[in-house]
């Protein structure tokens, strides 16, 4: 295929260098954005009288035919092309001749690829946001069912205080809610139309950038041509958002892996989302959770690769920027594979609520409540903390939970104790007296669920519109 830039060169490109330089193997996925951007550009060129109106019309019509032919499978993308931009232009010229050679007037591949990437990233933000919405729905549905299920909460992987399963799920709801909002903010910053920036210094042609912006559905045009062609902040920000999503998925997967072990027995993952061992017939492995946990590092790698690529680039465009695509594409593909699998796996889980409850009774998770009871009786918090600590030490020696110690034993630690302490340190009381906003008490959790439902209603309206 003839090079778009071949006029300056008398010699042929080295075959190995040609393959090394080519990006068609990965940037071909931008064909729709490239053709859509070219259609808007051609319409603008015709409207402005920069090229003859009849040429603009035939370019637009033929570009639409090329798009249709690619999508139907009638036209295969030539893998020997330098990139998707040269393939589309070459195909256009082969179909309509010289009129097709006018398409690139007032445009550089630098602002062309910047446009394609922004359009692609905006579309993928919408796609990932939709997958997040499905996960948020699943989390909220499970939280509603489990407001009374008591389980231990942990710090340092040690049992800390009793909470509810609903409270746990709502913690992840908040994480993925932030992810959704981050994506929304990232989209707003990506929503700038760079076409018209040229190679770096705009153009002498009377382009109507606002017209192209409107045609392509952007909110605004880029403000500086140097920045527009060399900016990949939106790619880095998007992959950063994807990395945080993966981090949240990985944390949840880590808990599900632990909870499915014989040591916990909190959950049973459906057979549909587990595998077995080739040698140990008894095994049921949480492979999907482990794979998602493992793939998190892959997305992190894409982010670090992008940051490293960008860190030493002078203005304006440099071919190093070609390295943005594979990192972005792989991060997107990974997250879009992980989110639906995780959501399906999460919805498949059976909870062993009896084991969760029994576990919450162990580990002296009510020790803080014993201290709080003492404070309410007039003991200073520091003194109450020490008394409760001595109480735990004594109970460990006796191999008994706090609630099974006799009143005499309690009084030997502190004379302040009386019969009412037993109700105060039951796990049900421990949970349901923590009714401050954001707490695990059923009343606080129900309030939180209402707020989450309100947020999700707004999200689903946007998803349905898209």
Q: Which pLDDT does position 123 carry in this prediction? A: 98
Q: Residue for token digits 């959501």?
A: 343
Alpha helices (H) along 362-441: 367-376, 381-398, 407-413, 421-424, 427-432
Q: Which pLDDT does position 277 carry in this prediction? A: 85
Q: Which pLDDT does position 463 carry in this prediction? A: 80
Task: Give 280: exposed, middle or buried? Use CB within 10 Å, 0-12, 13-18, 19+.
Answer: exposed
94: annotated active-site residue: no
Q: Residue for token digits 């409540």?
A: 369
What is the H or E stretch that residue 171 is in?
Answer: helix 165-190
With beta carbons less than 8 A apart as the criterion, state whether 257 and 289 touch.
yes
Given the DSSP bridges, would you call strands 192-193 and 150-155 parallel, antiparallel or unpaired? unpaired
Q: Does domain 110-145+164-355 have CATH number 3.20.20.60?
A: no
Give the pair of three-digit tokens for residue 3: 């090079």
φ/ψ of 69, rounded to 5, equals: -70, -35
Residue 435 CB neighbour total at 10 angstroms: 14
DSSP 351: E
CATH topology of domain 367-425: Ribonucleotide Reductase Protein R1; domain 1 (1.10.40)
Task: Give 179: exposed, middle or buried? Use CB within 10 Å, 0-12, 13-18, 19+.
Answer: buried
Listed residue (13, 27, 177) closest to 88, CA to CA: 27
Per-domain boundaries in the chain: 14-105, 110-145+164-355, 367-425
Per-residue pLDDT of the chain (466 residues; tens, 9 = 90+): 666 646 565 667 677 776 777 889 999 999 999 999 999 999 999 999 999 999 999 999 999 999 999 999 999 999 999 999 999 999 999 999 999 999 999 999 999 999 999 999 999 999 999 999 999 999 999 999 999 999 999 999 999 999 999 999 999 999 999 999 999 999 999 999 999 999 999 999 999 999 999 999 999 999 999 999 999 999 999 999 999 999 999 999 999 999 999 999 999 999 999 999 889 988 899 999 999 999 999 999 999 999 999 999 999 999 999 999 999 999 999 999 999 999 999 999 999 999 999 999 999 999 999 999 999 999 999 999 999 999 999 999 999 999 999 999 999 999 999 999 999 999 999 999 999 999 999 999 999 999 999 999 999 988 877 6
What is the H or E stretch that residue 142 is in?
Answer: helix 109-145
277, 348, 406, 414: the catalytic one is: 277
Distance between CA 351 and CA 269 in Å, rounded?
Answer: 9
Give the pair of three-digit tokens for residue 260: 């499915």
22: annotated active-site residue: no
Polymer length of the chain: 466
Q: Residue for token digits 């059976």?
A: 350
Q: Which pLDDT does position 5 carry in this prediction? A: 46
Distance between CA 186 and CA 237 in Å, rounded?
Answer: 7
Give the pair of three-digit tokens for residue 246: 């993966």
Residue 375 CB neighbour total at 10 angstroms: 15
Give the pair of three-digit tokens for residue 174: 């908040």
Cα-to-chain-centroid distance, residue 355: 32
Residue 426 CB neighbour total at 10 angstroms: 15
Omega before residue 316 within 30° of 0, cis: yes
10, 72, 156, 278: the catalytic one is: 156
Listed residue (208, 44, 38, 222) closest to 113, CA to CA: 38
**Class (C level, CATH) for 14-105:** mainly alpha
């Amino acid at each position: 295929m003839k090079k778009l830039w071949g006029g300056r060169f008398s010699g042929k490109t080295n075959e190995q260098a040609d393959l090394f330089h080519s990006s068609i193997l990965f940037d071909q996925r931008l064909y729709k954005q490239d053709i859509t951007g070219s259609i808007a550009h051609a319409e603008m060129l015709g409207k402005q009288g920069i090229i003859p109106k009849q040429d603009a019309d035939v370019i637009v019509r033929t570009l639409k035919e090329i798009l249709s032919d690619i999508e139907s499978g009638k036209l295969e993308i030539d893998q020997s092309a330098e990139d998707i931009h040269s393939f589309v232009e070459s195909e256009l010229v082969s179909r309509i001749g010289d009129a097709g050679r006018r398409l690139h007037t007032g445009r550089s591949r630098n602002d062309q690829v910047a446009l394609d990437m922004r359009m692609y990233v905006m579309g993928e933000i919408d796609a990932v946001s939709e997958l997040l919405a499905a996960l948020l729905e699943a989390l909220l549905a499970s939280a509603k069912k489990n407001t009374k299920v008591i389980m231990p909460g942990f710090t340092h992987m040690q049992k800390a205080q009793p909470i509810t399963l609903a409270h746990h799920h709502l913690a992840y709801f908040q994480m993925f809610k932030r992810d959704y909002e981050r994506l929304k903010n990232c989209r707003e910053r990506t929503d700038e139309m760079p076409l018209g920036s040229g190679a770096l210094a705009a153009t002498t042609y009377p382009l109507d950038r606002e017209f192209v912006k409107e045609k392509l559905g952007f909110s605004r045009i880029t403000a500086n041509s140097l920045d527009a062609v060399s900016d990949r902040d939106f790619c880095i920000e998007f992959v950063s958002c994807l990395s945080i999503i993966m981090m949240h998925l990985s944390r949840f997967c880590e808990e599900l892996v632990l909870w499915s072990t014989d040591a916990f027995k909190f959950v049973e993952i459906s057979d549909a989302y587990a595998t077995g061992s080739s040698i140990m017939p008894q095994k049921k492995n949480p492979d999907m959770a482990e794979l998602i946990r493992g793939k998190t590092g892959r997305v992190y790698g894409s982010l670090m690769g992008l940051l490293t690529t960008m860190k030493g680039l002078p203005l304006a465009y440099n071919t190093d920027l070609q390295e943005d695509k594979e990192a972005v594409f792989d991060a997107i593909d990974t997250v879009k594979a992980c989110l639906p699998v995780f959501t399906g796996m999460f919805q498949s889980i059976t909870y062993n609520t009896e084991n969760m409850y029994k576990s919450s009774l162990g580990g002296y998770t009510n020790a803080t409540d014993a201290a709080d009871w003492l404070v309410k009786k007039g003991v200073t918090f520091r003194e109450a903390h020490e008394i409760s600590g001595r109480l735990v030490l004594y109970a460990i020696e006796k191999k008994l939970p706090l609630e099974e110690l006799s009143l005499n034993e309690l009084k030997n630690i502190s004379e302040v104790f009386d019969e009412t302490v037993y109700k105060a340190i039951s796990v049900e009381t421990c949970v349901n007296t923590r009714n401050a906003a954001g707490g695990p008490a059923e009343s606080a959790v129900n309030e939180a669920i209402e707020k989450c439902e309100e947020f999700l209603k707004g999200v689903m309206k946007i998803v349905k519109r898209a």
